[in-house]
A and B are shown apart, each in its own frame.
Chain A
Amino acid sequence: MRLVLDTKRKKLFNINGEVFKIEKDEKIPISYSIFSMVGDALEKKSRIYRIKRPVISNKDIPKVRFMQ
């Protein structure tokens, strides 16, 4: 098992020109595993604790249409 501590990350960081806000430390509940990285982490015999979730606005998601 590998413990990932992410305590050195800055509270704000920038991806793709957007500034993301770190909300808080978060543990992933085991019950969430069916749809989450925990499943993948277990698959690799590793688990992840103390991840931090960035926040992103959905307002700039571009519109799409079916291809002809």
Chain B
Amino acid sequence: MNSLVLGGILKRVYNSFSMETFENRLKLQKVIYLLQCSGVNLGYPFSWYLHGPYSPELTKDAYLIEDFSKVKKLEFEDSEIESKFKGFIERLSNHKDDVFWLEVSASIHLLKKLYPQKSEEQVVDEIKNKGVDFRNRGDEIRKIWNEFEGWSF
């Protein structure tokens, strides 16, 4: 993957975007992670970090996007993948600016993949222990879990 392609894909999700804020960088990581989980592989490897799935390679490519306003939108040549991407954009539309939702859903997915033997409650506890922002939000995390299970991964 390169920054031009990444920018062209990202522009389908966000009309404007910059790497200047932590919130935006977090959104980038979680959206691309969830996109790859939806079956659109952009080739970024993710590991578990403080804020859930994170790819340094993705960060590097995103920093190389010089002027997002000039980035041209891209589509996938394969109609099946393009269809998956459109479905992903649609499902994400209500959440794409909700950093809590993005971080929790991506974290749920990665933790479930890493530790398939863990129960829902154990995964929720793991997320609650990520930091003070999550500690008292167990109900919200469970709600996201239930909503997220409707996504076909």
Contact = CB atoms under 8 A, between A and B. Distances in A.
Interface of A: 2, 4, 6, 9-10, 13-16, 18, 20, 28, 32, 34-37, 40-41, 43-44, 46, 48, 51-58, 60-67
Given A14-B113, A15-B46, A54-B46, A36 B59 contact: yes
Interface stretch (B33-41, B97-105, B134-142): B33-41
Contacts of B50: 2, 4, 41, 44, 46, 48
- Residue with the highest number of chain A CB atoms closer than 10 Å, among B5, B37, B39, B56: B56
A63 B42 CA distance: 10
B121 to A, nearest CB: 18
Contact of B73 (A14, A61, A67): A67
Q: Which are the 9 A-B pairs with shortest beta-carbon distances? A: A64-B74, A56-B45, A58-B43, A63-B77, A67-B73, A61-B43, A35-B60, A54-B45, A62-B81
- Residue with the highest number of chain B CB atoms closer than 10 Å, among A34, A37, A43, A67: A37
Interface of B: 1, 5, 8-9, 22, 25-26, 36-37, 39-51, 54, 56, 59-60, 63, 72-78, 81, 110, 113-114, 153
B74 A9 contact: no
B85 to A, nearest CB: 9
A11 to B, nearest CB: 12
Nearest to B44: A56
Given A56-B43, A62-B78, A4 B49 contact: yes
Contacts of A58: 1, 43
23 contacts: A9-B48, A10-B114, A13-B114, A14-B113, A15-B36, A15-B46, A28-B56, A36-B56, A37-B49, A37-B54, A44-B51, A51-B48, A55-B45, A56-B45, A58-B1, A60-B43, A61-B1, A62-B41, A63-B78, A64-B74, A64-B76, A65-B77, A66-B74
A66 B73 contact: yes
A53 B46 CA distance: 7
